[in-house]
Amino acid sequence: MRTIHIIGGGLAGSEAAWQAAERGVPVTVHEMRPVRATAVHKTDHLAELVCSNSFRGDKLDNAVGLLKEEMRRLGSVVMRAADAARVPAGAALAVDRDRFSRGVTEAIGSHPRITLVREEVPRVPDAADGPVIIATGPLTSDSLSADIAAMVGSDHLYFYDAISPIVLAETINMSKVFRASRWGRSLRGISGEACGVDDGEGDYLNCPLTKDEYERFYGALMTAERAPLHEFDQAKFFEGCLPIEVMASRGVDTLRFGPMKPVGLIDPRSGREPYAAVQLRQDNLAGDHFSLVGFQTQMKWGEQARVLPMIPGLEQAEFVRFGMVHRNTYINGPTVLRETWQTRTRDDLFFAGQISGVEGYVESAASGLIAGRNAAALVRGEPLTTPPRTTAIGALAYYVSHAAPRNYQPTNITFGIIAPLEASAGRKVPRKKAERNIALSERALADLNVWMRGTQFANSPIHEFTN
């Protein structure tokens, strides 16, 4: 039987490997770390989470909650490892990052049909002894990036993202912060942006700011020096993950309507909402690291050390990691890909993960799930399929392969890209958004079940996962 070669052992590559191997097909994963580092990864683990430890909302009134549930039903190794490494985060699924990536590494490393090779693949392999899945992520190595650029031409683009700082819990002044959730509970979990504002059930520490404190902080932020964007000519940020100083430059109150939003956060000491608030979210199982939610930044590290302690409660905070700007590499999905995650020009070549034009941990793993299964189907001579557009995973595949190619932007999963509900005899489309979202999720899971019964997914996994 031919072997599937997967380049990159991140979220997408690991999921693809697991799915293909579970279909009985041999897989070789080529992962360049630790032989060759990236600018952001810190370990040699597979599926390392490079920034936030949140997989975002985990309820069915939320599109990423639906996507995760679909993946669980499809036997996702990433979801099993994530569920096993869960830390408190209200209505969201957040994980202990080390435990999570160790779980995936062990599962892949011990699978009898998966071989892990630690090497950089510098070029897109020619048609070889089996299908190839390129899952090299936003920090694809330079030589492979150049070769992909040559292959897809001008559709191969770069742009920036930025990550949030993390503080050591014991250095937070607990007498100044308060534990609370927005509105006392999460109404919608975490939706939308990977790095956006979170709501949880009392699992967040909130740093309240008075008007004076906010204005001083704002002033310092506006004058802080930013790291140079030397490598690239143009700074293009993912709108859902904007650096705070970029948001701040849009107006003095923009942050108070974004990551410093105080709405629904009652400070128990005053009984009132503060003027502004910064939320801190637990970042590891031990609870000794907290990240500043939505505080991705491109300020120079020295400037972060000067400006961030102006946030009440963080005056003496020790920063385990400062925020930073990073590269994101992705192809123009609609030009290059089919709904099966195969390229339009080569049946045996797939892209998956961030480089394929999706955004986020869960979306990357989801694309790997379908690419891995379809690569396995190709080897086995079975039809290649994708779940219907009424499902989150199918909608993502459709978006990546069918969105308007001009100004293409990677997307998180949202209900907006899932096929809308249609009224049918005896069943109206709910008018309220929350009810409509639940109805979309119920339809998605029902349609996924039907699809699974009619495809290769009908077979249950054949290798036990342990974590």
User: What are 208's two structure tokens?
Assistant: 């309240």
Of 166-195, which residues contact ligand FAD (CB under 6 A)? 194-195
**Nearest Cα to Cα of residue 410 among 398, 399, 395:** 399
Position closest to ligand FAD via CB: 10
Minimum Å gap between C-beta 442 and ligand FAD is 26
- Sign of the CA dihedral with 178 first, then 183, 188, and 194 last: negative
Q: Output the smallest distance, CB 349 to ligand FAD, in A.
A: 15
Compute the least distance from the CB of residue 7 to ligand FAD, in Å: 5
Residue of 17, 19, 52, 244 that binds ligand FAD (CB under 6 A): 52
What's the rounded Cα separation, in Å, for the pair 290 and 319?
Answer: 10
Across 194-205, b (16+ Cβ under 10 Å) vs e yields: bbbbbbbbebbb
Among 4, 6, 10, 451, binds ligand FAD (CB under 6 A): 10
Binding flag, residue 7, ligand FAD (CB under 6 A): yes
Nearest partner of 287 among 96, 467, 49, judged by Cα: 96
Compute how many other C-beta atoms are within 10 angstroms of the C-beta atom of residue 458: 9
3-class DSSP assignment, residue 133: strand
Name the residue nearer to ligand FAD (CB basis): 190 or 448.
Answer: 190
Q: Do the bridges between strand 54-57 and strand 86-87 make them parallel or antiparallel, or are there none, so unpaired?
A: unpaired
Among 20, 25, 32, 132, binds ligand FAD (CB under 6 A): 32
Closest CA to 211 of 312, 357, 102, 123: 312
DSSP H helices in 74-210: 77-84, 97-109, 142-152
**163 near ligand FAD (CB under 6 A):** yes
Which of 5, 23, 33, 389 forms a contact with ligand FAD (CB under 6 A)? 33
Annotate each residue in 108-147 with x if it binds ligand FAD (CB under 6 A) or - if it does not, as one string. ------------xx-------------xxxxxxx--x---
| Binding mask of the shown chain, residues 311 to 350, with x at each position contacting ligand FAD by CB under 6 A | ---------------x------------------------
Smallest separation, CB 460 to ligand FAD (Å): 25
Nearer to ligand FAD, 170 or 231 (CB): 231
Nearer to ligand FAD, 169 or 195 (CB): 195
